[in-house]
Chains A and B, each alone.
Chain A
Amino acid sequence: MGFSDATREKALEIIARYPADRSRSALLPLLHLVQSEEGNVSPAGVEFCAEMLGITKAQVGAVATFYTMYKRRPTGDWLVSVCTNTMCNVLGGQEIYDRLSEYLGVGHDETTADGSITFEHAECLAACDYGPVMTVNYEFFDKVDPDTAVHVVDQLRAGQRPQPTRGARLCTLKELSVQLAGFAEPREEAMADGPAGAPTLRGVRLAQEHGISVPGFDPETPIKSSRGDGAPAAQAAGVAANKPASDLKPAGDTAKPQDRALKEAK
């Protein structure tokens, strides 16, 4: 399929966001863009990205297949994802997944016979305090159970758009992919949707109710100046420039704590 001029223009807009000699940075948004037109990343979409960036199709293909949000087969308007990572799982996520899978007659990464719903299980969606969660086009339905989950997909198949618990009112997966490509939400009301849920506010509400705040906050506190008293301290530290700027390993500077767990397990 040929891509429209409008899409081409959008592609140029995306590329312009990145430094001129670094256009390859535009690849992820470009893949979201072709998905917004076709519903998945097809060979034609791969070719389009390659052409826009002056790289090979193999280079684009290698990237497209690495990321789970790029779908290789045609998708429905609605991507239903059920979190089955540990926390949601023990809170009932597995039952939700199993029930929906049976109800829709499809498994992971498959699309229903009527072409409307693509189904998948997801890893932790950063909403464990609302678990078990599912999403439709990545908008959250919180604390679902198998019955409410079935009700949501029923509504979708009946052409309705159920309102997510948090996040914006639904748009189709193709429409959403335009936003993933970095373009603004065109629906003003959608921006205002999604008030903070109770779990999000729990700690801060508790503090408010009991009049707790952090004392001693004075926004006029001056910033200490080291001007005039010799070499600025930060500059001196900058000399140590080739030292690690960051951790070597994710959760700590060394694997020591894990080493200890391993030893003690043995």
Chain B
Amino acid sequence: MTTPRRETLEKLTPVLTKRWLSPEAWRIDVYEQLDGYAALRKAIAAHPDDLIQLIKDSGLRGRGGAGFPTGLKWGFIPQNDGKPHYLVVNADEGEPGTCKDLPLMTHDPHSLIEGVIIASYAIRANRAFIYIRGEAVHAARRLRNAVQEAYAKGYLGTNILGSGHDLDVVVHSGAGAYICGEETALLDSLEGFRGQPRLRPPFPATHGLYASPTVVNNVGTIASVPYIVLGGPDWWKSMGTEKSSGPMIYSLSGRIANPGQYECGLGVTLRELIELAGGMLPGHNLRFWTPGGSSTPLLTADHIDVPLDFEGVAAAGSILGTTATQIFSDQDCPVYATYKWLEFYHHESCGKCTPCREGNYWMVGIYRRILSGAGTHQDLDTLLDTCDNILGRSFCGLGDGATSPVTSSVQYFKQDYLDYIEGRKAPRLSAKQLVGAH
């Protein structure tokens, strides 16, 4: 393993991850010793509108994948409308490759709760829900404990710190459905229905939970808020790039010496991240990678110097997404990798719309055929045609996302497909495996 150079080390910006070093930070008394709830005290003395403006000034953009400006989203909530307002935290983390929200909630749950209280105060919400992925049991355990502790200390409940503001928080566990990460499906699920996306408009800002004004934000977005309240927007913008401000947790997995979470200013490059991670595994050369989860088009070794911020990745033809950088080498097969992702999309498609439900089903079948050595040249055209019929025609982003690995792998690695089709590469799936496949 190689030690990163100083200039690369300086790309690290430990902010949201910093308290993870304190093994007991999930306890409220320890959290309080580490700046905990100082931001709340400061925020609750300010006017809610000034907090919305503060978040706008910081340039904070959503950490859930789309990068929507957070202050703008909060500002869309109509005020003095006589309706209850809601804050819903999207803790359904399930995009393949993404693994930043669960450690945050497990090791520093109060930072999320503090952010929830501040955000709720800003948008005038008296109820907040944290919708956490069902399988994330340890994170949920710590989070529920933290909520209880916060009530006991008067940070939650009625008349928080004498401000006159009331807030109740419920931690709501999901039950195993990736689609519930899509914000409108999440709201349906939270209302006790199947998690299927809703037609938009109307948007959650006016017709969200229980048809009331609702802000839905990712865990990382809300957990950023206390730091902005404390350090101010100028400090926040000292990290990242002009249009993509602040620190971001990059989740590195795969063929590198030290997979893990690396918090850097937005705009760091994969070359730098790999250096921080101690280099590629011996004997492995970078071949393809996802900049932000499997729903973002694959990039290649040629893209190693692309700045990983919203603009830089878009210019390279992909999407920053959740900054889940899954790193694959020359020993991994892009066709097989895509096949496994498609099995995922096929399994997780909620079935509401035809292009996604049927398209993913057919594409899985085509991948099985190609990987078992029975593919034809026509299959490649059919794959792209199917993507054409899914992309932009499906009801929500899951369908669009499913086309990403397919089109990008055909774009960059067509030869790999042809090698299976023309018999130069041994079949990866046997006929036996196909019999049992479902």
- Listed in ascending order, the chain A residues whose CB lies under 8 Å from chain B are 17-19, 22, 24-29, 31-32, 53, 62-63, 66-70, 84-87, 89-91, 107, 122-131, 135, 137-140, 166-168, 176, 179-182, 184-185, 190-191, 193-196, 198-208, 210, 212-219, 221-227, 232-235, 237-238, 240-253, 255-262, 264-266
Minimum CB–CB distance from A95 to chain B (whole Å) comes to: 13
Tell whether, in the assembled complex, residue B53 and residue A224 are in contact, meaning their CB atoms are under 8 Å apart: yes
Could you tell me the distance between the alpha carbons of A127 and B170 in the complex, rounded to whole angstroms? Answer: 25
Please pick, from B53, B190, B210, B387, the residue contacting A233 in the complex, using a CB distance under 8 A: B53
The reply to whether A214 and B321 form a contact with Cβ atoms under 8 Å apart is no
Question: For the complex, what is the distance from the CA of A76 to the CA of B276, rounded to whole Å?
Answer: 43
Question: Is B134's CB under 8 angstroms from A180's CB?
Answer: yes
Is A225 a contact partner of B400 (Cβ separation < 8 A)?
no
CA of A237 to CA of B53 in the docked complex: distance in angstroms?
10
Q: With the chains together, A89 CA to B261 CA distance in Å?
A: 20
In whole angstroms, how far apart are the Cα atoms of A25 and B210 in the complex?
10
- Residues of B within 8 Å of A204, CB to CB, are 12, 14, 17-18, 20-21, 261, 263
B residues 1-45 near A (Cβ < 8 Å) are: 4, 6, 9-10, 12-15, 17-18, 20-21, 23, 35, 38-39, 42-43
B66–A251 contact, CB under 8 A? yes
* B262 neighbours in A (Cβ, 8 Å): 202-203, 206
Residue contact A237 to B232, C-beta cutoff 8 Å: no
Contact B21 A190 (CB under 8 A): no
Q: Which of A123, A232, A262 contacts B388 (CB 8 A)?
A: A262
B328 touches A214 (CB 8 A): no
Cross-interface CB contact of B50 among A125, A216, A221, A227, cutoff 8 Å? A227
**Does B408 have its Cβ within 8 Å of any Cβ on chain A?**
yes
In the assembled complex, the Cα of A124 lies from the Cα of B294 at a distance in Å of 10
Given contacts A32-B175, A221-B235, A244-B200, contact A226 B49 (CB under 8 A): yes
14 A–B contacts, CB within 8 A, in A order: A28-B173, A67-B177, A125-B135, A126-B98, A126-B136, A184-B145, A195-B23, A196-B23, A210-B6, A214-B239, A221-B234, A234-B75, A261-B318, A265-B384
Query: Are the CB atoms of A245 and B397 closer together than 8 Å?
Result: no
Q: What are the residues of chain A within 8 A of B397 when measuring CB–CB?
A: 247-251
Q: Give A22 to B103 CA distance when docked, in angstroms.
A: 32
Q: Say yes or no: A69 contacts B21, CB within 8 Å.
A: no
Judge whether A214 and B15 touch: CB under 8 Å. Answer: yes
Most chain B Cβ neighbours within 10 Å, of A31, A202, A223: A223
The docked-state distance in angstroms from the alpha carbon of A110 to that of B46 is 56
Which residues on the A side are within 8 Å of B106 (C-beta)?
194, 196
Cα–Cα, bound, A217→B226 (Å) = 13
Is B42 a contact partner of A200 (Cβ separation < 8 A)?
no
- Cβ contacts under 8 Å, A240 to chain B: 75-76
Selected from A130, A139, A227, A237, the residue in CB contact (under 8 A) with B138 is A139
With A68-B175, A123-B178 as given contacts, are A241 and B252 in contact (CB-CB < 8 Å)? no
Give the residue of B231, B294, B384 whose beta carbon is less than 8 angstroms from that of A266.
B384
| CB contact under 8 A between A199 and B261, given known A218-B232, A221-B235, A242-B202 | yes
Taking a contact as CB atoms under 8 Å apart, the answer to whether B410 and A265 are in contact is yes
Complex interface residues of chain B between 79 and 94 (CB less than 8 A to chain A) = 79, 84, 93-94
* Cross-chain contact of A138 among B137, B178, B210 (Cβ < 8 A): B137
Stretch at the interface among B158-166, B336-344, B356-364, B365-373: B336-344
The distance from the CB of B202 to the nearest CB of chain A, in whole angstroms, is 7
Q: Is B201 an interface residue when CB atoms closer than 8 A count as contact?
A: yes
User: For the side of the interface on B, what is the size category?
Assistant: 35 or more
Whole-angstrom distance between the alpha carbons of A211 and B274 in the complex? 20
Q: Does B156 contact A (CB under 8 A)?
A: no
**Complex Cα gap A229–B188 (Å):** 41
Let me know if A87 and B191 touch, CB within 8 A.
Answer: no
When the two chains form their complex, are residues B176 and A219 in contact, meaning their CB atoms are under 8 A apart? no
Q: Which of A84, A198, A244 contacts B201 (CB 8 A)?
A: A244
- CB of A249 within 8 A of CB of B384, answer no
Binary CB contact string for chain B from 271 to 282 against chain A (1 if under 8 A, 0 otherwise): 000001100000
- A246–B66 CB distance below 8 A: yes
B residues within 8 A CB of A18?
170
Supplied contacts A86-B341, A242-B206, A246-B66, 11 more A-B pairs, CB within 8 Å: A28-B189, A122-B135, A123-B178, A124-B94, A128-B326, A135-B135, A137-B137, A196-B106, A204-B18, A225-B47, A244-B200
Tell me whether A129 and B14 are in contact (CB under 8 A).
no
A28, A126, A168 — which one has the most chain B CB atoms within 10 A of its CB?
A126
Q: A126-B94, A250-B401 are in contact. Are A200 and B260 (CB under 8 A)?
A: yes
Chain A, residue nearest B170 (CB): A17
Cβ of B286 under 8 Å from chain A = no
Among residues 82 to 124 in chain B, which have CB atoms less than 8 Å away from a CB atom of chain A?
A: 84, 93-99, 101-103, 106-107
Complex CA distance for A62 and B20, rounded to whole angstroms: 40
Decide if B408 touches A25 in the complex (CB within 8 Å): no
Q: Which of the residues B68, B292, B297 comes within 8 Å of A247, measured between beta carbons?
A: B68
In the complex formed, the residue of B with least CB distance to A123 is B344
Residues of chain B with a CB closer than 8 A to A181's CB: 173
Is the pair A261, B253 in contact by a Cβ cutoff of 8 Å?
A: no
Residue from A69, A126, A180 within 8 A of B102 (CB atoms)? A126
Rounded to whole Å, the gap between the CB of A122 and the closest CB of chain B is: 8
Question: Which chain B residues border A234 with CB–CB below 8 Å?
Answer: 48-50, 52-53, 56, 71, 74-75
Residues from chain A with Cβ under 8 Å of B98 in the complex:
124, 126
Contact in complex: A85, B318 (CB < 8 Å): no
CA distance A191 to B154 in the complex (A): 22
Question: Does B51 lie at the interface of the complex (its beta carbon under 8 Å from any beta carbon of A)?
Answer: yes
- Report yes or no: A208 in contact with B103, Cβ–Cβ below 8 A: no
Q: Given A129-B259, A261-B297, are A208 and B14 neighbors across the interface (CB < 8 Å)?
A: yes
Chain B residue nearest to A143 in the complex (CB): B259
Set A28, A68, A86, A246: member contacting B172, Cβ < 8 A: A28
The CA of A27 and the CA of B173, in the complex, are separated in Å by 11
